[in-house]
Amino acid sequence: MVIKKYIKGLVGLFFPDLCLACRKEHPIDGSLFCVRCEVEMPYCNFEDLRSNEAFMRIAGRLPIKHASSHVYFKTDNIVQQILHALKYEGKEEIGLSMGRFHAAQMKPMLMDYPDIIVPVPLHPKKKHLRGYNQSEIYARGLAMGLNIPVYPNILKRKKFTESQTKMNKTERLRNVSEGFELKNPGQINNKHILLVDDVLTSGATLEACGLPLLKIPGVSLSVATLALADNW
């Protein structure tokens, strides 16, 4: 019974019965989404991992090797529905599946392959309330596609920060400033880390995570996010 349930879960993950966006229609072959949602999906479709909007937004804050985002986020667009389902409705399969597709898109462009993936952590209280960390779920999807390990316990969020959805750039930076600390730093010596978050807005959270990581000898950084916010 347990094995049958596990197999059914795997089949549902890789071949979902319903579109992962609207959850009403059947997805088209080779996609996670139905025809209507696939047409509406605002994929970033970056042609390289350095001359793109995600890289430019982060490069002024952190020295990174490359950056990528999978889809554009705008208020009231289809991506907002997907993120809401991933973060608040327990739809972890969205993060896993889209992470795999993003990895397949990035793979041909990777000139310097990351060694490990480190997701941006939630505060333990928030993770307990939600039951999971959506950035870690997305990181695990990327890991499946890139065949590299996820290290979910390298960073710890020290402060229970407020939601940054309606904050400006200055408020975002203040909200996460010095909000993260390293655990088990010896595990990441001389590693090229792919730092993963669900949404890239101003880059304040990624900066706050990246700075302590870069203090470890030999560490280099790249960044990947599910979504790139249009209005930041």
Residue 103: CB partners within 8 Å, gap ≥ 6? 141, 142, 143, 144, 145, 146
Q: What share of the chain has pLDDT > 90, as a percent?
A: 61
Model pLDDT for residues 145-198, shown as the tens digit of each residue: 999 999 999 999 886 555 555 555 555 555 555 589 999 899 999 999 999 999
> What is the rounded distance in angstroms from the CA atom of residue 158 to the CA atom of residue 165?
20
pLDDT at position 163 is 54
Please check the confidence at residue 62 and state whether its pLDDT lies above 90: yes
> What is the rounded distance in angstroms from the CA atom of residue 186 to the CA atom of residue 200?
28
In the predicted model, what is the mean pLDDT of residues 52-68?
95
Which regions of the chain carry the CATH code 3.40.50.2020? 44-229
> What is the rounded distance in angstroms from the CA atom of residue 65 to the CA atom of residue 50?
8
In the predicted model, what is the mean pLDDT of residues 122-128?
88
pTM (two decimals): 0.84
Give CATH for domain 44-229. 3.40.50.2020
Q: Are 187 and 160 in contact (CB under 8 A)?
A: no
The neighbouring-strand residues paired with 194 are 117, 222
pLDDT at position 140 is 98
Beta strand pairing status for 116-119 and 155-157?
unpaired
Number of Cβ within 10 Å of residue 127's Cβ equals 15
> What is the rounded distance in angstroms from the CA atom of residue 94 to the CA atom of residue 5?
19
Model pLDDT for residues 33-52, shown as the tens digit of each residue: 899 998 889 999 999 999 99
